[in-house]
Structure formats: C-alpha cells, structure tokens
Copies of this chain bind each other. A is one copy, B any other.
Amino acid sequence: MGLRSLGVAVAGLGRIGRVHSEILAYRVEKARLVAVMDVVEELARSTAERFKVKAYTDYDSMLKDPEVDAVFVTTPTYLHHDMIVKALEAGKHVFTEKPITVTADEAVDVVTRADRAGLKLMVGYMRRFDDAYSEAKRRIASGEIGKPVAFLNVARDPGAPPGWAQDPKLSGGIFLDMLSHDFDMARFLIGSEVKRVYVSGGAVLYDEIKAKGDLDLVNVSFEFENGVYGVVHGSRKSVFGYDLRTEVLGTEGTVYVGSAVDPNLAVGVKSGVVLRGVQWFWARFYEAYVREDQAFVDSVLNDAPPPITGLDGLRVVEVAEACWRSIQEGRPVEVVKRL
C-alpha cells in the first residue's frame, strides 16, 4: 500500500465519539487524527482543541478535507445511513459505530455501495477485541470444549438509554441498539448464522420505553444454521451495574465470559459480604476499543478486509428485524438474508 499513515476524522462527538478521538489521537499506530466534527459548535471546538486537530460543524465540509482518508461515524443510529453514503461518495473509508443502520434496507444499501466503491466499511462491535472474549473465541476454535452446542447470554444494562435511543424508529430498539452486541458475539463465537428466532418479552421496566413502542426486557431463543441453540436475555435495568455474561456449552466443556461483580473490592458486614457491580463500562472495554480502531486502520493501510465487515453489520440487522416480527406475531420467525 502506498499510504504510510491514515488520516482520520471523527463525526459525532458524544461520549463514544470522544473515546474514538482520544484513541485515534494517542493510541493507534499509523493513524493521524486530523479532524473532529459535531453540529454542536462548542463540542467540536473543545474536542478539536484538546487533540490539536481541525474542528468542523458541517459534515459535508469535513468530507471535502483532503487530509481525511477515513471517517468514523459515531452519531445516533438513524444518521448512519446517510452519513456512510456521503462518506463513500466522497471516497472515504468508513468505520461506523454499531449498529450499522436502523433497517436492513439501509444496511444493504451501504454494504453494496462500499463494495462497488472498493472502500472499507467496518462496524464497531468492540467486544470481539476484548481480551476475555477473544481468548474465549481462541479456546472454542481450538476445540478445547469439543463441538459447541449452546450459546447463552445475559445482558443487563444499569439503566434506560437516554433520549433518541428509546425510540425504536431512531435506534432500531432493544434488539439493535443493545442486543446487536450479543447477536454479533453469538455469530463470532459460534461461527455460524442465526436462522430462526423466537422472542418473548415486553416493556415492563420503564414507562417511557413503553410509550415509545420499544421493549425493555426480552428473552430471545434462537437457532444457528450449524445446529447450535442460543438464548439472549436482555434487560434495560440492573440496579448494581452492568451484568453481562456469556457462556458457550460444548460437548467437552463450557466457556464462561464476564462476571456480575468486580472481585477487587469486597466488604464483609453484618448483612453479608458486599461486592461491587461493574460500574464503568470503559474500564472493561477501553483496550478493546483501542484494538478495534487499530484493526480498522490496519485493514485500510494493508487493503485487507476489516475484521467486522458491513455484511456482519447487515446480518445482525436481519436478526433484529426477525426479532421484531417474532414478538409482533407471537411465533418463531426465520431470519431472511438480504445479501
């Protein structure tokens, strides 16, 4: 490849956008953070100042910047499709935060366009780069637990997502906004696609989520094409912190990832021994974000397929759409592959 390093810009400077900015500025080899962009001028300005890069408030202007080789799309989901399309049209490689888009139609569109344009498109399911999850993948792939037969996942967020993410029309709802992480992990660890889903659940935790038509507690039962049986349990509430645990049962063993508690502090008092929950998301996954961003930069510089492709992103949207149909129709639903 001709490029010695990659000029990157981050568009959307909410929390996750600022994390990617920081990582791209300091931690990723052969990346040069050259610009950040947000429609909130003060946010664009202060972030740019912190990293000594250009500030944009207009996405189109940023895309014209010749120093920008690749764009990180870190805006709310409902903006992804149009922003990815524009970036591709401007000849930029794209890293988009998960999920790729709100609908499968949109996902098909951006995947097709990226292919046609010969540009990289990667989707940010950072758990794949987490030390424990990637070691789990290695152990499973090595045959240590025999042939996988079941995948189980408990995912409980500490609280409801704010604002736009409560509206399924903007976020894709719980299956896409929250559980797409878990479906992607299922595909990653099992190495097969989800072919049928059945969902039960409801909006039983938050009135505002119910009002918007989303769900906040679901059990998704599913089957993979290779015969493995899966369950994803998702809840938008866990009062003591993140409770994220994954297990894969094989014919010769079981892999467990994640813990409901932080083992590093326990206080024994009369009522028992109290452990802390996992309070800070970034503490667990920061290094995963670093490796993820490095992997994207490497894939562009080496002209290699990114480790999580647009097609991976589409697959998960297809699963989420099947989940929505299942809960609406009260029956198991086949996942339809669009590409």
Contacts and interface: CB of A to CB of B under 8 A. Distances in A.
B219 A201 contact: no
B156 A154 contact: no
Contacts of A258: 264
B268 A277 contact: yes
Contact of A283 (B262, B273, B287): B287
A265 interface: yes
Contacts of A219: 150, 221, 229-231
A262 to B, nearest CB: 8
Interface in A250-267: 251-267
A21 to B, nearest CB: 12
Interface stretch (A184-192, A237-245, A309-317): A237-245
A337 interface: no
Contacts of A264: 131-132, 257-259, 284
A61 B247 CA distance: 52
Contact of A269 (B145, B230, B267, B268): B145
Copies in the complex: 4
B200 A251 contact: no
A205 interface: yes
Contacts of A283: 131, 287
A221 to B, nearest CB: 4
Contacts of A26: 22, 25-26
A269 B240 contact: yes
The majority secondary structure among interface residues of chain A is strand
A275 interface: yes
Nearest to A238: B254
Q: Which residue, of A219, A223, A230, has the highest number of chain B Cβ atoms within 10 A?
A: A219
B136 A239 contact: no
Contact of A254 (B196, B202, B267): B267
A267 B253 contact: yes
Interface in A107-140: 131-132, 135-136, 139
Nearest to A154: B152
28 contacts: A22-B26, A131-B264, A132-B262, A132-B265, A144-B269, A149-B235, A156-B249, A156-B254, A198-B198, A198-B200, A198-B332, A200-B223, A235-B249, A238-B254, A238-B268, A239-B270, A240-B253, A240-B254, A243-B254, A253-B269, A253-B270, A254-B267, A255-B267, A256-B273, A271-B274, A274-B274, A283-B287, A330-B332
Given A131-B283, A237-B251, 17 more contacts: A135-B276, A139-B267, A152-B154, A198-B332, A200-B221, A200-B223, A219-B230, A237-B249, A238-B249, A239-B252, A239-B254, A239-B268, A240-B271, A240-B273, A256-B260, A258-B264, A331-B331
The 9 closest A-B pairs by CB, nearest first: A259-B263, A132-B264, A254-B268, A132-B265, A26-B26, A256-B266, A272-B274, A253-B269, A221-B221
